[in-house]
Structure 1
Amino acid sequence: MGRWQPDARGRLGQAAMELYAERGFEQTTVAEIAQRAGLTERTFFRHYADKREVLFGASGALQELFASTLAGLPRSVAPMDAVATTLEAVAAEFRDRHAFVRQRQAVIAANAELRERELVKLASLAATIGDALRLRGVKEPAASLAAEAGIAVFKVASERWTASTGHRELSDFLQEALTELKAITAGA
């Protein structure tokens, strides 16, 4: 009966996250995820390529958001300011998602393969930002430096936000990290 209810993808994602938290990522099977969601394995594979995609399936959309936001900014905006504005746009996508992000990070932290995949995701985001900056006419090494610095700010702010109670927004932590970056580079 349950498989005819709406939002199969959401139900599968929720079931997967619950099982990952209860049993661990490696010990959870696709069959168990589908069963918990009241769906079939076939339905799972219509929505996700594999069980890792529950955790990383939104990476493409995140890359697109970074690229499109940067592309939409006036060329007169300095590279690091453009990255900061883009980080703010990305942070808006994480509103009301603290509990999910916190649970996702706990699953990733408990598994070496997933930690590696997270690093690959961050490297891909940095490459996307660098490409978008180069399209804006930013030369090397400034484009790569701004992209890598932006991802470092995003990573540090995300880690601090995830470890927090969730009463403050990700954007607050991003602003703090950007301020710290400016402070440490001002003395250089």
Structure 2
Amino acid sequence: MIALIKYNGGNVSSVQNALTRLNIDSVITDDPELILKADKVIFPGVGEASSTMKLLKEKGLDVLIPSLKQPVLGICLGMQLMCGDNEEGNTRGMGIFDVDVKWFPPKDLVPHMGWNTISELKSPLFSGIEDKSDVYFVHSYYCGLADATVAACDYILPFSASLQKDNFFAVQFHPEKSGATGSRILNNFINL
């Protein structure tokens, strides 16, 4: 069973729809017992960092998520909340990845929205994906390059398009909106 973490944010249903297209059953839940029993956990995200962390704390999910032993995939805001300090609302994330989240400097259009190229792919998430593939982004905050970076992108400056540490995986882009490449990434995660 695949658990999609419910936190009253956007995008959870579109991730579930993408999994359904791949014939993968999933459940949207904030029940700690169901999340602990899941084979894989996906933490999708569209929303604002501080209000989302508040909701996670109310359910104890801010402590549960970092303790999980099965593969976990954070998407967009989900990735950012798996990191350290976040400039959006001066929020402290879960600290799974040792990298902070910063606001893009206003040297170009922010948010970074649309298709962009990922490179330096170094994770089983990207098995069968060509270097310099395009995926779909929508974000105003970014994680810098770090030891856990397993894919990079460039918009205004280089940043982490994907992070990986132990059983934790994360992508800044939206695989559920990234066509065949995104479907392959989701399938790769499910098959870990």
TM, length-normalised to structure 1: 0.25
Which structure's residues are more often helix, by fraction?
A: 1
TM, length-normalised to structure 2: 0.25
The structure having more radius of gyration, on CA atoms, is 1
Which structure's residues are more often strand, by fraction?
A: 2
